[in-house]
Homo-oligomer: A and B are copies of this chain.
Amino acid sequence: MNTSNTTVEYLKQEKFLVAVDCIIFGFDSENIKLLLFKRRVEPLKGALSLIGSFIKNDLNLNDSAKMVLEESTGLKNIFLKELRTYSDITRDPGNRVISVAHYALIRINELDIENVEEHDAHWYDFNDIPDLIIDHKQMVDDAINRLRDEARREPICFNLLPKEFTIPQLQAIYECFYQKKLDSRNFRKKIVSFDILNKTTRKDKTSSKKGAFLYVFNKRKFKTFIAKGNRFQL
């Protein structure tokens, strides 16, 4: 095995600018939202865009995206996944840039407001996204489709809710994704049958006089659920 720092073969190759862009999703009890920014550098300064950054030599792509998220939202430990690359030669008018889009789910209530305002960031309803620079609109569309699909099969929506949440809150997210009302009896029956939530004794009273019991997602129970050969499917 070759252990020198840079192999001769590699020196001949062209190098590229590489960036990460983040599609940040939130949920405000009404709708799925996306966090968009006013771009601060040329080209296209001032236009609406996703938040992103060129990567540096000391971080991999995932960590680069994490850093971007932390800087723009003040949040650590965000749910984050790679979406796909965008590499058309002329996609960026400034120069060729290969961008790796990532999508993130955050809890709006934990957001650092100051940070966000400092970055000229605003939430937009996910089914009413304005035009964005370059191919960012495409990235958003792709991310929404991916998320819609993934939400059906993986327990990821919990990342949009506070650690403790109610069943009706969870249902509301799925109703946004599917764009239709769900039967609350059937929804509750299904999610409870999975046995992946812990019911607390506390109630959330922000949306009704009666209050709804708070639940917590239990990762251990979920693993057991999967180990038994079950499939999360909503």
Q: Are A61 and B41 in contact (CB under 8 A)?
A: no
Chain A 65-93 near chain B by CB (<8 Å), digits 1 or 0 = 00000000000000000101101110001
Residues on the B chain within 8 Å of A17, using CB: 10, 13, 15-16
Task: Tell me the dominant secondary structure on chain A's binding face.
Answer: loop
Contacts of A98 in B (CB 8 A): 18, 61
| A13-B17, A54-B13, A57-B96 given; A7·B42 CB < 8 A | yes
CA distance A136 to B61 in the complex (A): 18
Q: Given the complex, which residues of B lie within 8 Å of A97, measured CB to CB?
A: 10
Q: How far is the CA of A129 from the CA of B42 in the complex (A)?
A: 48
B9 touches A94 (CB 8 A): yes
* A 26-61 to B, binary, CB cutoff 8 A, 1 in contact else 0: 000000000000000111100000000011111111
- A82 — which chain B residues lie within 8 A by C-beta? 84-85
Assembly stoichiometry (copies): 2
Q: Which residues of B contact A87 (CB under 8 A)?
A: 60-62, 100
Chain B residues near A84: list those with CB within 8 A: 82
A-B contact pairs, 13 of them (CB 8 A): A1-B43, A1-B93, A3-B93, A7-B41, A9-B42, A13-B17, A16-B16, A60-B87, A60-B89, A61-B85, A61-B87, A61-B98, A85-B85
Q: Which one, B6, B9, B18, B94, contacts A18 given CB within 8 A?
A: B18
